[in-house]
A and B are shown apart, each in its own frame.
Chain A
């Protein structure tokens, strides 16, 4: 089965849904593939079920989350083919304007194939790895994971739990739990350089939507009596079969206390393996301390026919993602002759103005919540970096300084680092920071892993069922 379509969108979060709606309304034949069982992305995770069956949870999760309900409804009601639970493992770009590309996915245990004329990658963000001693212990999750099981499952931690790291999500998740009657033992803030954010403060104050929210969260947590420890350093998690204790320094004092669960977070970065696997040109974003695909003002990548929108193209937040999704869809609709160039430019005015508004808040947030250097490149030799292949920071440093391993791809050959099931998603940025630091060069000089398809697990059996013509030259016949 090989289905033709105008546009394939990967991801049903704010960028993917906004793009799908915009394109479909202009007569573009759209297929949206998303890995999750329901639309909404991580930000509106589970929104349909929460709205239908858990009214109080909707209140606790807050109005920004609740706003997703109408958005997802519009998406469901539009003339869009939506494939839930679909894992896209390979995309080949269109060779030219006349021929379509090829997209392979797995869904309900079977493989499928699309021939899209245009592709929009809207794979969103993932949480930046936070490699501290003990972060692989059971009972340690990301803040996003905690929030996901709240949204999708109505689950909350129990016992003594702590949130640690930096970024708005830390405060938001804590506040959502407090509203549900579940109080964190403490929030350990690792934000270290408030001064660096100051030059961007004036611009941040032009975005009341953001700073008012931040202040309200802080007030809410204070009123609830949640201890907020600032300038926390030297975070260490101790345990055996699971996490048992958390140790940290704050105000020159070391504290070690029992803990049942820990939620870590130090910001989000583009969830980029699909974009990397297509060899899209990337740039290093020093403010966000991550790579992102090089895009033009419409989200057009370096490869013709391939677009990127939302956080996958550099962190813009949910509302910024919504705007970039619409912009990409307008460019695609114009490319496909559904609207004129004049129409595209005229209709782009609103999303472009909205995007500018949301981008105004970024420099301040990026600077304030820049992760501390020792959690970008862990100092302790024992800290796990590649969780899958169990490669620790000390080993990576040793390979660079003693064996002269120059980059992340060589690190794969030297140590299998980044070659486990997560395909480098959870170690990539840490590995390149470590190598750059050891070599004394900037990160872009070190580069990133060469990510190859399949970017999702497929079996030989899956591949064997594919309806693709065998190229004699490819099999040596």
Chain B
């Protein structure tokens, strides 16, 4: 798990990570919010349910796919948190909602 270094501003945004309320600094990405709160999988793979977590943090690896505000398959490292954002781990394949 990652920890916040000292000398960081105290301002916080409240988001829900898997329905648990957590506070993260503004400007964080959804993936950074996850890294601050878990050291285990943030998704399981569509192919064989392997555990995976953010890997590159720059938009190329797609390991940080997560469900954000109800929309699955979002690249968590490219989405900036906002007050009340719901960030969920993604289990296996996404469902198509018609």
Contact = CB atoms under 8 A, between A and B. Distances in A.
Interface of A: 35-37, 42, 46, 49, 53-57, 85, 87, 126-127, 136-142, 144-145, 148-150, 152-159, 180-182, 241-242, 260-261, 271, 387-390, 420-422, 425-426, 457
B78 A49 contact: no
Nearest to A38: B27
Contact of A126 (B3, B25, B50, B56): B56
The binding surface of chain B is classed by DSSP as loop
A67 to B, nearest CB: 20
Interface string B1-21: 111111111000000000000
20 contacts: A35-B59, A37-B80, A136-B50, A138-B41, A141-B55, A144-B56, A145-B56, A145-B57, A145-B58, A148-B57, A152-B32, A155-B35, A156-B2, A182-B5, A241-B41, A242-B51, A390-B47, A421-B62, A421-B73, A422-B62
A422 B39 CA distance: 23
Nearest to B57: A145
Nearest to A147: B57
A137 B54 contact: no
B55 A145 contact: yes
B36 A155 contact: yes
Nearest to B24: A153
Given A144-B56, A390-B50, A149 B61 contact: no
A14 B30 CA distance: 26
B54 A145 contact: yes
A176 to B, nearest CB: 10
Contact of A153 (B32, B48, B53, B55): B32
Contacts of A388: 45, 47, 62
B7 A144 contact: no
A260 B39 contact: yes
Contacts of B56: 126-127, 141-142, 144-145, 426
Interface of B: 1-9, 25, 27-29, 32, 35-36, 39-42, 45, 47-48, 50-63, 65, 73, 75, 78, 80
A126 B65 CA distance: 18
Contact of B54 (A56, A85, A141): A141
A153 B25 contact: yes
A55 B7 contact: yes
Contact of A42 (B27, B29, B58): B58
User: Which of A35, A55, A85, A181 neighbours the largest number of chain B CB atoms within 10 Å of its CB?
Assistant: A35
Contacts of B65: 421
A54 B3 CA distance: 15
A387 B25 contact: no
A198 B24 CA distance: 48
A271 B25 CA distance: 29
Contact of A139 (B7, B8, B32, B53): B53
A155 B41 contact: no
B98 to A, nearest CB: 11
A57 B8 CA distance: 8
A154 B25 contact: yes
Nearest to A52: B9
A152 B77 CA distance: 11
Given A55-B7, A141-B56, 10 more contacts: A126-B60, A142-B57, A145-B55, A145-B58, A148-B57, A149-B2, A152-B28, A154-B8, A156-B5, A422-B60
A388 B56 CA distance: 14
A150 B58 CA distance: 13
A149 to B, nearest CB: 6
B58 A53 contact: no
Contacts of B40: 138, 241-242
Nearest to B42: A138
Contacts of B6: 56, 181
A139 B39 contact: yes
A426 B42 CA distance: 19
A-B pairs, 7 with minimum CB distance? A138-B53, A145-B57, A421-B62, A155-B2, A56-B7, A154-B8, A422-B62
Given A159-B1, A390-B45, A420-B62, A152 B27 contact: yes
Contacts of B80: 37, 85
Contacts of A425: 60-61
Contacts of B7: 54-57
Contacts of A242: 39-41, 51, 53
B51 A138 contact: yes
A49 B78 CA distance: 17
Given A54-B7, A457-B73, A422 B2 contact: no
User: Which of B5, B28, B50, B53 neighbours the largest number of chain A CB atoms within 10 Å of its CB?
Assistant: B5
Contact of A35 (B45, B48, B78): B78
A153 B60 contact: no
B75 to A, nearest CB: 8
Given A136-B50, A137-B51, A142-B55, A152 B29 contact: yes
User: Which of B9, B35, B50, B58 neighbours the largest number of chain A CB atoms within 10 Å of its CB?
Assistant: B58
A155 B4 contact: yes
Contacts of A152: 27-29, 32
A138 B58 contact: no
A12 to B, nearest CB: 13
Given A154-B25, A241-B41, A85 B78 contact: yes
